[in-house]
Chain A
């Protein structure tokens, strides 16, 4: 009656892959957010940063890694959520209130993830594979992403959708970052409460940093 042990089919093993890919993606969004902030320096700084990124062959390695992590994260999270739903075939008539309640952010992780998935696909279509304008700085012709950004975020529809998606990303990170650390086994009476705060701070910084760009374009630029 000994059950077979296998890391990648075990719940803990799968959770650890979700956690690892999630943490990697968290680092990516932080880097992406910081890159975006160059728009506050100048259109040239913003465009040259984008140009520098796509000019290095390392971009293909980075992109492949991102696609892999994203796919693993989405696939395993959906698979585990499916398993989790199956572990309680009959739902409770009443849900807990007060101290024993589960936070809505933690109950809606899959829904948040699906919003982010749709967002990422549309985001790539809008920008990476979107309209191409060119601009020349000191004899170097680069893609004028700045112009596209201004064009897109001047539309209230895009602004609203981005605000919604980025708040959802913030909620996802607010649970995800510290949860991933717990999944790896980081738990400490003094450090864990601090890591939880760092996770929340991380989510807030990433999401507000991202939000600053469309807000700036729509209301100030």
Chain B
């Protein structure tokens, strides 16, 4: 085949299997044989699954969709790291050449109370959707795209807003955090609106509501370890969490309905 190295490797896999949310789960060992080093991690799992199906066994359940690093569906912890060992990479973009022949690879689901397990490696991340629903939008009609420069946006703000908006909502930040905190996700979703003129009218209320929903969902608090940003496939900056903290304090002081 053109463009392939033709190299293969064998791996020992230890994969978390759990048939349902209320069932007991455990690690099951699999042998991955003759896996192309050009394959992605998900393609390697596809190979395992095909064999499992052939044997009449239940395939390993995992979330995936675009497989090009932009949808945020893939969600597994590989040897202790969400999305595997590389920075700025989603599991679907992690290639098998990153592993050594004969290596043992432990695959676990994202672990968090707010991400209840569905099956095997698939978890329910709808807590993120509820956080967005609580205020992560602009509720006024902004009309058609405005004429260029009719609404000035400083270049730096546009860049920071865009960087925050690259968050794909995969939840690796929660999975990586020792506290299962959603601070990086929530702060990115606040930042991409807070940095633009259209986001100003509802900025305070949005901050208060989304933080309240984040707490309500049972995520932990932020200890500023930076593990979230290190695990983030989009390398969202911790600066966003600082902005959220600042905005939250300001919004509390300005809001006339806040209780202590």
CB-defined interface of A2-35 with B at 8 Å, one 1/0 digit per residue?
Answer: 1111111111111110000000000000000000
Given contacts A10-B248, A12-B245, A185-B249, is CB(A3)–CB(B215) below 8 Å? yes
B55 at the interface (CB under 8 A from A): no
A111 at the interface (CB under 8 A from B): no
The stretch from B63-71, B193-201, B221-229 touching chain A is: B221-229
Are B176 and A96 neighbours in the complex by a CB distance under 8 Å?
A: yes
Are A89 and B113 neighbours in the complex by a CB distance under 8 Å?
A: yes
The stretch from B3-11, B43-51, B78-86, B136-144 touching chain A is: B78-86
B260 at the interface (CB under 8 A from A): yes
A219 at the interface (CB under 8 A from B): no
With the chains together, A183 CA to B181 CA distance in Å?
14
Are A187 and B243 neighbours in the complex by a CB distance under 8 Å?
A: yes
Are A187 and B223 neighbours in the complex by a CB distance under 8 Å?
A: no
Are A11 and B221 neighbours in the complex by a CB distance under 8 Å?
A: yes
Q: A96 contacts which chain B residues (CB < 8 A)?
A: 79-81, 176, 227, 231
Q: B246 contacts which chain A residues (CB < 8 A)?
A: 184-185
Interface size on B, residues (CB 8 A): 58
A68 at the interface (CB under 8 A from B): no
Given contacts A13-B252, A179-B224, A187-B242, is CB(A5)–CB(B179) below 8 Å? no
With the chains together, A7 CA to B249 CA distance in Å?
8
With the chains together, A100 CA to B211 CA distance in Å?
25
A186 (CB) vs chain B CBs: closest residue: B242
Which residues from 80 to 139 on chain A have a C-beta closer than 8 Å to any C-beta of chain B?
Answer: 80, 83-84, 86-103, 106-107, 109
Are A88 and B111 neighbours in the complex by a CB distance under 8 Å?
A: yes
Are A100 and B215 neighbours in the complex by a CB distance under 8 Å?
A: no
Task: Spell out B's residues near A (CB within 8 Å).
Answer: 14, 27, 77, 79-82, 85, 87, 106, 108, 111-114, 130, 133-134, 176, 178-181, 208-209, 211-216, 218-225, 227, 230-231, 238-239, 241-249, 252, 255, 258-260
Residue picked from A8, A90, A97, most chain B C-beta under 10 Å: A90
B222 to chain A, nearest CB (A): 7
B111 to chain A, nearest CB (A): 5
Tell me whether chain B's interface is mostly helix, strand or loop, or mixed: mixed
B56 to chain A, nearest CB (A): 28
Are B224 and A86 neighbours in the complex by a CB distance under 8 Å?
A: no
Q: A4 contacts which chain B residues (CB < 8 A)?
A: 212, 259
With the chains together, A200 CA to B211 CA distance in Å?
30
Set A12, A87, A94, A178: member contacting B218, Cβ < 8 A: A87
| Chain A to chain B contacts (Cβ below 8 Å), 7 pairs | A3-B215, A5-B255, A10-B215, A83-B221, A84-B220, A97-B81, A103-B225
B247 to chain A, nearest CB (A): 8
A189 at the interface (CB under 8 A from B): yes
Are B221 and A15 neighbours in the complex by a CB distance under 8 Å?
A: yes
Task: Spell out A's residues near B (CB within 8 Å).
Answer: 1-16, 80, 83-84, 86-103, 106-107, 109, 175, 178-179, 182-189, 192
A185 (CB) vs chain B CBs: closest residue: B246
Q: B130 contacts which chain A residues (CB < 8 A)?
A: 1
Residue picked from B179, B208, B255, most chain A C-beta under 10 Å: B179
Residue picked from A14, A83, A100, most chain B C-beta under 10 Å: A100
With the chains together, A3 CA to B87 CA distance in Å?
34
Are A93 and B108 neighbours in the complex by a CB distance under 8 Å?
A: yes
Are B113 and A12 neighbours in the complex by a CB distance under 8 Å?
A: no
A8 to chain B, nearest CB (A): 5
Are A94 and B259 neighbours in the complex by a CB distance under 8 Å?
A: no
Q: B212 contacts which chain A residues (CB < 8 A)?
A: 2-6, 10
Given contacts A13-B248, A88-B111, is CB(A5)–CB(B230) below 8 Å? no
Residue picked from A96, A183, A184, most chain B C-beta under 10 Å: A96
A186 to chain B, nearest CB (A): 6
With the chains together, A94 CA to B257 CA distance in Å?
45
B180 to chain A, nearest CB (A): 4
B113 to chain A, nearest CB (A): 5
Interface contacts beyond A13-B252, A84-B180: sample of 5 additional A-B pairs, CB < 8 Å, sorted by A: A5-B209, A87-B181, A87-B219, A94-B108, A185-B247
